Amino acid sequence: MNAAVKKNLILFVSGKMIAVLGSSLYGFAIGLYILAETGSSLNFAITLMLSVLPRILLAPVAGALSDRLDRKKIIIISDFACAIWLTIILLLFHFVFPEIWLLYTATAVLSTLNTFYSTAVTSSIYNMIGPEHLQKAMSLNQAAASLSTILGPVLGGVLFGFMTLPFFMMINIIAFTVSGIASILINYHLFAEKKEENKQTNFFEDMKTGFVYVKNQPFIFNLILVCIWINFWFAVFPVAMPYLVLTVKGMEPFQLGIIEGSLSVGMLIMAIFLSSRPEMKKKENAIIGGMIALSLVLVLLGLPSMPGLNAISNNLVFIYLIIMVLLLSTFVMLINMPVMVLLQKSTPDSYRGRVMSIMEMGATAMTPLGYIIFGALLESVPVWLLFSVCGLSIFLLLCYQLWKRTLIIHLRELDGKPDPVVTAEL
């Protein structure tokens, strides 16, 4: 790894970790504050919805913009715009009117800006690191995000008792500023292709062209469909797990926190492991094996709620669920990492922003839908049956892909291709 790549990687991972930690602390504090002030879970749900909707609605716009403009400028502007916007909210909230609707507005605008930021960053990783270090960069990126996600609620829980909400806003403002400074120092064009000058198409034609390109690329189209399908059925986990632990088994809230936190811990461990390993050679085997294991673990997660197993002590169930969730996160990473590496390598730079944004839009849109459907079904369907249906649905998708061989053929073709030779700009 040459000095320029190493510098980019250090700045990128450091900036990402600080930004995610700041956002995690702020998001945790916002949730507790709204629940404490209103006592309404609906108000908290509104905050969650406002953080998701912009990503669904604006992802294609962000993708087209990322392919038209300088991605580095989008990243830097987004970072500092978040810092400035949150500073305005801090001043208004602290000195003028500390109203809940102001926090809703802050969440919606921050989520909008983050949509443009995350799309530009994701589509810049290849140009920043090059093809040889994609797995390392994306693994370290996930490790930084997972570690920050783990630390955020822990630090937030400690600080919330004696710190006011503006303190958490200030922490997030500093985090956005540091991330922006790191982005200024990163060379996002180290391995970039030369972009065509004077684009003849308008913005909306670019958006349409992105969808047409995805539709006409069998590998990318099928890969996105697979990811959307998996994300929908995986949405059962955050909905059914609290119900299983708290309602069905009558366990303590802190036990639920440890069980759910195991997901981030498992991803962190797997991300660190993958970052230290050479890029996977047989990505087809990793994806197929990961999907089989993921479907099996989802089925096994529901076992403690089966009528014949009610006599098992909650202490054993607690340990069992932690192990299952750790395995679940491992297999999620085993699927996600080769998928993202292949998607980065198989997509031309001129379309990378739109392709990534279309995938994010599809996956993000299906998750809230899964929350609603599985949340409603929990009132009438046993937890073990719901987990089993979701696990088997992922397994059936794999069987279909193996039968049709649509995705498998392209995976094998890409696995056999050498990495593109791209020289770094020194």
**Sign of torsion, CA 239 244 250 251?**
negative
Residue 425 lies in a domain: no
8-63 confidence digits (pLDDT tens): 889 998 888 898 888 888 887 887 787 777 766 566 667 767 777 888 888 888 88
Q: Do 119 and 264 sit in the same domain of this protein?
A: no
Nearest to 67 by CA among 348, 299, 296, 316: 348
CA distance 237 to 373: 12
Asked if residue 186 lies in contact with residue 11, where contact means CB atoms within 8 angstroms, the answer is: yes
Please state, in angstroms and as integers, the Cα–Cα distance from residue 129 to each residue in 184, 189, 312, 361, 418, following that order: 16, 9, 50, 25, 17
Q: Do 398 and 313 sit in the same domain of this protein?
A: yes
Q: State residue 171's pLDDT score.
A: 92
Q: Do 169 and 27 sit in the same domain of this protein?
A: yes
Tokens of 65: 């913009």
Residue 423 lies in a domain: no
Residue 257 lies in a domain: yes
Residue 196 lies in a domain: no
Residue 200 lies in a domain: no
> What totals of helices (H) and strands (E) does the chain contain, helices first?
16, 0
Residue 424 lies in a domain: no
Q: Do 223 and 346 sit in the same domain of this protein?
A: yes
Q: Do 338 and 403 sit in the same domain of this protein?
A: yes
CA distance 119 to 131: 19
Q: Do 380 and 328 sit in the same domain of this protein?
A: yes
78-112 confidence digits (pLDDT tens): 999 999 999 999 999 888 888 888 888 888 899 89
CA distance 121 to 183: 10
Residue ranges of the alpha helices (H) in 70-99?
Answer: 71-95
Domain count, the chain: 2
Q: Do 406 and 281 sit in the same domain of this protein?
A: yes
Average pLDDT, the chain: 82
Q: C-alpha angle with apex 148: 32 to 129, nearest 5 degrees? A: 145
CB under 8 Å to 300, separation ≥6 — which residues?
324
Mean pLDDT over 412-423 rounds to 53
CA distance 204 to 425: 32
**Residue 306, class by beta-carbon neighbours within 10 Å (0-12 exposed, 13-18 middle, 19+ buried)?**
middle
Residue 344 lies in a domain: yes
264-321 confidence digits (pLDDT tens): 888 888 888 888 887 777 777 888 888 899 999 999 998 888 887 777 888 898 999 9
Residue 317 lies in a domain: yes
Asked if residue 17 lies in contact with residue 146, where contact means CB atoms within 8 angstroms, the answer is: no
Q: Do 308 and 386 sit in the same domain of this protein?
A: yes
Percent with pLDDT over 90 in the chain: 18
Please state, in angstroms and as integers, the Cα–Cα distance from residue 353 to each residue in 66, 69, 75, 124, 284, following that order: 5, 10, 13, 8, 24
Q: Do 168 and 314 sit in the same domain of this protein?
A: no
Q: Do 184 and 54 sit in the same domain of this protein?
A: yes
Residue 298, domain extent: 207-418
**Sign of torsion, CA 340 342 345 350?**
negative
Q: Do 116 and 159 sit in the same domain of this protein?
A: yes
**pTM for the full model?**
0.80
Q: State residue 163's pLDDT score.
A: 81
CB under 8 Å to 420, separation ≥6 — which residues?
131, 345
Q: Do 43 and 127 sit in the same domain of this protein?
A: yes
Tell me the CATH number at 305: 1.20.1250.20
Q: Report the chain's C-alpha Rg in angstroms.
A: 22
pLDDT at 177 over 90: yes
Residue-wise DSSP of 95-154: HT---HHHHHHHHHHHHHHHHHHHHHHHTTHHHHH-GGGHHHHHHHHHHHHHHHHHHHHH
